[in-house]
Every structure is written in structure tokens, then in C-alpha cells.
């Protein structure tokens, strides 16, 4: 799959229309100007090692760049992503959304492996040997694509601001575990909202369910799907080319506020955002959870990542407390994610859907008979909710 076909379903608004989950410089490249050359932020700000000092250029005046800067024609009404809007204002299709000259794998000096360190909570970290493939600074964050020999042929991974997001080897673990238990328990989910999710992985899993009629992906940074489609296309696996998918570029908070104002409802909301301790922290608190509760339809539920319970215990417990202050059913899970280097916590939350207590055996078998899942199964479902006893003080209802 290539980037062709993605941009005709990208919708945005004026640059002054809302805030940002991951805020950096808002200056872009105006039409007719040369791309500005600037250095990656220092190690302290982007929490990365080898990529710092690499020169990166803001994208030239392509459709992707204009989406990222909010310079598309203004639509009627905030976040009005009407299906026919793009028919009236088509964006040019871009086969290679990111400029090829920024592919640093062409640089012979980048062929050698370098240490690639990422944080794990406030007091720990971990390091992979990595071969840089791509590095750029968007208006919001550092975006990197690297090859990790530790994972073999599926070792391609990407990072945002120095934190690993997903690899081809194990991205399916979180995506399958957040999406399938929820949608199978619901039984007839038709509208799914993915907050973040610019790599397309959560959308890909939601689209496996025949009841799903629409998946809306609200991604802040247009350069994330552009980079993934060029360097890791199998991660989305055609999700952005599916007519049921709508990609909305902008702040998730603004999208949720506008959807509530329009009286919209979703059967499932999947959090596929950056870590909760960064600038997306306000999206992981009780006030925002309450908005999502109002956005859910009957039997609707949300799924989200909590973090590393061994290394981010306070964060995990705090998020669970916030969820329990809003929702009737809050059901944490735990699974090991190799790319993250540790056990990883997730959760479902709903006022009316008991995901853990639902008998979805028949629906699960039907899903497995028609789809080739890599991780999720009835046995894995049981293991997800089996919280280690030594972590109950973190996960327990306090």
C-alpha cells in the first residue's frame, strides 16, 4: 500500500481552530518559501540519543504539509467532516507523502547501528541497537523510523519524541487487545472513534468487524500517517483506504467537543495517543473521561492504555481512580509488550457494558474463523484480566 488514496479522506480546519495534544512550533512553510532547516531538539527535550543533531526540514508545500498547518479551505462548521466535502475540494494525491531526500538510510554514515534509548517511567529506561531510517521534526514532535535487529525482519519501529510507539513485530498486541474484547462484548458496534491512532493499527482491527460502518481517526499530526504509509505501510494494512475510515486532522479535544455539540454518539472510543504523562495528560483525566461518557451510545465503552504498572505505578493508579470516578465498570488488563520492555496496563470503561463479564465466546470464534489475528484468542482474553497479585495495590479499586 502507498500513500495514494489517503489524502482524499483527510479533513482539517483552520490553524486557529483548536489546541494541541503535542505542542511545538506552529510555524510551517508558506507557499513559495524554501523549507526551513532546523536541528532536532536536544536530548533532554526529545528524550532521544542518536537522532539529535540530525538536520531535519519541515515538509515542503504538499497536501500533507498544508493539512499539518491547517491551511486547507475552511469547512462550514467546526470539524464538519461531511463525506462529500472532499468531493468538492479534492486534495492532490501524494504517492510519497514524505520527501525522499529525508530518508537518512541513503546516508552511508547511518548504516552503522546506534544505541536507541527510551524512558520507562521517571527512573528507568531501556536501549535497543537501532539503524536509523527516517527522522524529521513536524510542527508538533520528533518523528523517527528505525530498524531494530532484535526483532529480526519485523524490526521496523517508530518513535515520537523519543518514545517508542509501535513496531511491526508487536504493534498488534495492544491494538488487538484494546479493540476486539470491546467490540465483541458490544456485539453490534457501528461507529468507532480512535483518538490519535495515526499509524492506522487500531482502525485496522476495528474494520475486521462487519458491524462497523464508520471508523473516525482523530490524529493531531498529519505527518505521522504520512511517515507510516511510506516506511511502515503494513501497519495500517489498508485501513486508510477503506471507505469506512475517515481521517480527521486536529486536536482530539476539539473533535470531541464538536461531536458532542452535534449530538453524535459512538459505540467505542479507542485511545491510541501518546503517553499520559506528556502534553496529552489532560486527555487522561476525569473531565475528559466525562465528555467521552456523554459521547458514548447505549452499551458504549472506551479502551485505553494506562502505562507500565511496575515503573509508572502512580500514573496507572491515578488514571484508574479517574476512570472509576466517572464510569460504573472499569476493568484493567495487563499484557507484555516487547517493544515497551515491560508489562503494559490497559483498561476498559463503561457505564453499561461489562466487557470482562460478557460471554463473547461464539462471537470470538466467528471472528477467528474469518480473520487471521496474531495475538488475541479466548485463552489470551482470560489472561488479560488475570492481574498479578503483587500488582493489585496498583490496579485494585482503592
Active-site residues, by number, are 272
Looking at residue 238, the DSSP 8-state letter turns out to be: T
Asked if 178 and 201 touch (Cβ cutoff 8 Å), the reply is: no
Would you say 175 is a known binding-site residue? yes
Would you say 86 is a known binding-site residue? no
The residues, ordered by sequence, that sit 6+ positions from 149 with a Cβ below 8 Å of its Cβ are 113, 129, 131, 155
For β-strands 245-249 and 214-219, DSSP reports them as: parallel
Would you say 13 is a known binding-site residue? no
Mark 56-77 as b/e (b = at least 16 C-beta within 10 Å).
bbbbebbbbbbbbbbbbeebee
Dihedral angle computed from the Cα positions of residues 192, 275, 99 and 45, in that order, rounded to the nearest 10 degrees: 160
Residue 42: CA atoms inside 13 Å, Cβ hemisphere, count?
1
Residue tagged 490553524 (cell numbers): 15
Asked if 119 and 201 touch (Cβ cutoff 8 Å), the reply is: no
CA distances from 182 to 95, 215, 303 (A): 35, 15, 8
Q: State the sign of the Cα–Cα–Cα–Cα dihedral 284, 289, 295, 299.
A: positive
Would you say 107 is a known binding-site residue? no
Alpha-carbon distance 168 to 211, whole Å? 27
Tell which residue, 391, 379, 372, 339, has the closest CA to residue 181. 379
Is residue 238 classed exposed, middle or buried when 0-12, 13-18 and 19+ CB atoms within 10 A define those classes?
middle
Dihedral angle computed from the Cα positions of residues 272, 275, 278 and 283, in that order, rounded to the nearest 10 degrees: 40
Question: Which residues are known binding-site members for spermidine?
Answer: 175, 199
Amino acid at each position: 500500500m502507498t500513500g495514494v488514496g489517503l489524502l482524499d479522506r483527510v479533513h482539517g480546519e483552520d490553524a486557529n481552530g483548536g489546541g494541541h495534544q503535542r505542542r511545538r512550533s506552529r510555524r510551517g512553510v508558506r507557499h513559495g518559501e524554501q523549507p526551513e532547516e532546523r536541528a532536532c531538539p536536544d536530548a533532554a527535550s526529545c528524550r532521544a540519543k542518536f537522532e539529535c543533531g540530525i538536520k531535519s526540514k519541515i515538509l515542503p508545500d504538499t497536501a500533507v504539509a498544508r493539512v499539518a498547518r491547517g491551511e486547507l479551505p475552511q469547512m462550514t462548521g467546526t470539524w464538519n467532516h461531511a463525506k462529500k466535502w472532499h468531493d468538492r475540494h479534492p486534495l492532490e494525491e501524494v504517492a510519497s507523502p514524505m520527501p525522499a531526500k529525508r530518508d537518512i538510510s541513503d546516508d552511508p554514515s547511518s548504516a552503522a547501528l546506534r544505541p536507541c534509548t527510551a524512558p520507562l517511567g521517571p527512573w528507568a529506561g531501556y536501549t535497543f541497537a537501532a539503524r536509523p531510517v527516517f527522522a524529521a521534526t513536524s510542527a508538533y514532535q520528533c518523528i523517527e523510523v528505525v530498524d531494530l535487529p532484535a526483532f529480526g525482519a519485523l524490526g521496523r519501529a517508530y518513535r515520537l519524541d523519543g518514545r517508542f510507539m509501535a513496531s511491526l513485530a508487536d504493534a498488534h498486541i495492544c491494538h488487538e487487545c484494546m479493540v476486539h474484547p470491546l467490540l465483541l462484548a458490544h456485539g453490534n458496534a457501528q461507529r468507532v472513534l480512535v483518538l490519535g491512532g495515526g499509524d492506522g493499527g487500531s482502525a485496522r482491527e476495528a474494520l475486521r468487524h462487519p458491524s462497523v460502518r464508520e471508523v473516525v481517526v482523530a490524529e493531531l499530526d498529519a505527518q505521522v500517517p504520512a511517515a507510516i504509509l511510506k516506511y511502515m505501510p503494513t501497519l495500517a494494512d489498508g485501513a486508510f483506504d477503506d471507505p469506512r475510515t475517515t481521517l480527521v486532522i486536529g486536536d482530539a479535544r476539539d473533535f470531541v467537543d464538536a461531536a458532542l455539540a452535534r449530538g453524535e454518539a459512538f459505540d467505542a472510543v479507542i485511545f491510541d495517543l501518546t503517553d499520559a504523562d506528556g502534553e496529552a495528560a489532560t486527555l487522561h483525566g476525569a473531565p475528559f473521561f466525562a465528555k467521552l461518557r456523554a459521547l458514548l451510545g447505549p452499551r458504549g465503552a472506551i479502551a485505553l492504555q494506562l502505562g507500565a504498572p511496575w515503573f509508572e505505578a502512580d500514573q496507572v493508579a491515578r488514571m484508574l481512580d479517574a476512570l472509576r470516578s466517572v464510569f460504573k465498570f472499569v476493568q484493567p488488563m495487563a499484557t507484555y509488550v516487547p517493544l515497551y520492555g515491560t508489562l503494559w496496563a490497559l483498561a476498559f470503561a463503561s457505564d453499561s457494558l461489562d466487557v470482562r463479564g460478557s460471554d463473547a465466546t461464539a462471537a470470538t470464534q466467528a471472528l477467528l474463523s474469518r480473520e487471521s489475528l496474531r495475538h488475541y484468542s479466548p485463552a489470551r482474553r482470560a489472561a488479560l484480566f488475570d492481574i498479578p497479585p503483587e500488582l493489585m495495590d496498583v490496579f485494585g479499586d482503592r
